[in-house]
Amino acid sequence: MGIGTSIFLIALGAILTFALNLSVGGLDLDVVGWILMAAGVLGLIMTTVIWGNRRRAVVTRTEPTEYREVTTTEPTEYRRVEERRDVYPPR
């Protein structure tokens, strides 16, 4: 779940809880709103934790079979990697 989806769930839950005063056949919209808001907050926290860890850990390859993990507190630079392949002319 991304940040946008989490914010959408929080907003939808707040609308159902605080703005609407409807009763739908045995379904309490206030409870549904609170559940959606809780799911949105949980999704926002999980997204922040997952994306936060991706920016701190850098894995470098020192030998063909040896990997070393380096943890930094500063933001990691983003690099553009291009792969070029030779295309042979048609016969």
Report pTM.
0.56
3-state SS string over 42-65? HHHHHHHHHHHHHCCEEEEECCCC
Cα distance between the two ends of the chain: 49
Give pLDDT, residue 7. 94
Residues 22-74: tens digit of each pLDDT:
888 888 889 999 999 999 999 999 988 887 665 555 555 555 555 555 555 55
For residue 9, pLDDT beyond 70: yes
Give pLDDT, residue 49. 85
Cα–Cα distance, 52 to 46 (Å, whole number): 10
Q: Which carries the bigger pLDDT value, residue 63 or residue 1?
A: 1
